[in-house]
Amino acid sequence: VLASAVGLARDLVNTAPGDLCPADLAGVAEQVGRDSGLEVTVLDEEALVEGGYGGIVGVGQGSANPPRLVRLSYRHPQAARTLALVGKGITFDSGGLSLKPTSSMDWMKSDMGGAAAVLAAMRAIAELRPAVNVVGYLAVAENMPSGTAQRPSDVLTVYGGKTVEVLNTDAEGRLVMADALVRAHEDDPDLIVDVATLTGAQLVALGTRVFAVMANDDAVRDRVVAAATEAGEAAWPMPLPEELRKGLDSSVADIANVASERWGGMLSAGVFLKEFIADGVKWAHLDIAGPAFNQGQPHGYTPKGGTGAATRTLVRLAESLAEAE
């Protein structure tokens, strides 16, 4: 079951971006739902606008392929806890108007690795049937430059009403994640875990084989790292320094999408996401930017290309919540 799930995540990441636009990924999720007995809801571009999902809409507005927000739900009759999973699903990331160089763009089909992990984990959870309720969100968009793309200095209103000044359109993942994180609160989860290929700074800090775990609760962070270890994945705990929040101040919005200083970019991205977590809600953030896609040679059972990073960790985390009843 786990091997099949990891294979699904790898296949999705490896699919050419021209063959996996947001609607395509949402379609795969719907098929997984039908096959696995998961309840699946998809919000299209019109529903996203009407619902006030300004982050996903803003990122997706530059593309001819409109964005989607996918919700998958698994329920167990004996469950006493609810886990919410949120995955970043940028099906291709050009950087938008803050355009990436070619050398940084040719593997950006992998920028939906977080959504792939969440979708694959949801399928495995549905098959393994742990006694815990799990909801999964895929925040799906394509980040492209065009005459309709968002601009640096635009201000977006994300789901829930907070405003974000977009200083760099290549810091787009955190915008779509903000919408999905706020929406996930409506499921009254005991724990929210997000998974994202979020920052290049993650590769600088931890390389290509170890993903980062940040959380607003030390015990939660330790639990996620332990789940990764038990699942055979390499994860490392990282802090969320409160002093980095000031660098995200904006004179025209509640928060800016990038910090005024370049240092600690992985951590400041986590601090940004924390802004959209309500007080008292336990949350962890996994930055899998490096481990999600192997640009080098195969090693061990890790192939070249998509790896399925974090899939097994999410499944193990769900099982551990069920076992703790």
**CATH (domain of 177):** 3.40.630.10
Which pLDDT value is given to residue 249? 99
So what's the pLDDT on residue 325? Answer: 60
Domain count, the chain: 1
- Spatial separation of the C-alpha atoms in residues 255 and 260, rounded to whole Å: 11
Of 71, 109, 123, 174, which one is the catalytic site residue?
174
> In 186-277, where do the E strands start and end?
191-196, 211-215, 235-237, 255-256
Could you tell me the pTM of the whole model?
0.98
**Beta pairing, strands 68-74 & 255-256:** unpaired
Q: State the chain's mean pLDDT as an integer.
A: 98
State yes or no: is 274 an active-site residue.
no
CA 96 to chain CA mean position, Å: 18
Give the number of other Cβ atoms within 10 Å of residue 57's Cβ: 25
Those residues whose C-beta lies under 8 Å from the C-beta of residue 170, and which sit 6 or more positions away, are 93, 95, 96, 98, 99, 100, 143
Give the pLDDT mean for 223-229. 99
129 carries an active-site annotation: no
Residue 148 one-letter amino acid:
T
Confidence of residue 56 (pLDDT cuts 50, 70, 90): very high
pLDDT at 93 over 70: yes
The pLDDT confidence band at residue 324, using thresholds 50, 70 and 90, is confident
pLDDT (tens digit, 9 = 90+) per residue, 279-309?
A: 999 999 999 999 999 999 999 999 999 999 9
- For 195-218, the pLDDT digits (tens) are 999 999 999 999 999 999 999 999
| Mean pLDDT within 266-278 | 99
Q: Which position among 81, 100, 162, 282 bears the catalytic label?
A: 100
Once rounded to an integer, what is the mean pLDDT over residues 138-157? 99
pLDDT > 90 fraction of the chain, expressed in percent and rounded:
99
Beta bridge partners, 85, equal 136, 193
How far is it, in rounded angstroms, from Cα 145 to Cα 313? 34
Strand extents, DSSP E, 11-81: 39-43, 68-74
The pLDDT tens digits for 27-48 are 999 999 999 999 999 999 999 9
Per residue in 154-174, pLDDT (tens digit) is 999 999 999 999 999 999 999
Give mean pLDDT, residues 267-272. 99
Q: Which domain holds residue 101?
A: 2-323
Q: Do residues 175 and 257 touch, judged by C-beta distance below 8 A?
A: yes
Q: Are 98 and 168 in contact (CB under 8 A)?
A: yes
Taking residue 162's Cβ as centre, other Cβ atoms within 10 Å add up to: 17
Which pLDDT value is given to residue 263? 94
- Cα dihedral 191, 79, 183, 310, rounded to 10, equals 50
Distance CA(254)–CA(2), nearest Å, equals 41
Decide: 229 and 222 in contact? Cβ < 8 Å.
Answer: no
User: 116-127: per-residue pLDDT in tens?
Assistant: 999 999 999 999
